[in-house]
A = this chain, B = another copy of it.
Amino acid sequence: MSNVTLNVQGMSCGHCVKAIEGSVGQLDGINEVKVNLSEAQVEIVYNESKVSLEKVKETIEDQGYEVE
* Residues of A near any B CB (own CB < 8 A): 10, 12-16, 19, 64
Report how many copies the assembly holds: 2
Q: Determine the chain B residues whose CB is within 8 A of the CB of A19 once the complex forms.
A: 15
- Best-surrounded residue of A13, A14, A16, A19 (most CB of chain B within 10 A): A13
- Bound together, the chains give a CA A16 to CA B19 distance in angstroms of 12
- Bound together, the chains give a CA A14 to CA B10 distance in angstroms of 11
The chain B residue sitting closest to A17, CB to CB, is B15
Could you give 10 example pairs across A and B, Cβ below 8 Å? Answer: A10-B13, A12-B12, A12-B13, A13-B13, A13-B15, A13-B16, A14-B64, A15-B15, A15-B16, A15-B19
Q: In the complex, what's the smallest C-beta–C-beta distance from A7 to chain B, in angstroms? A: 18
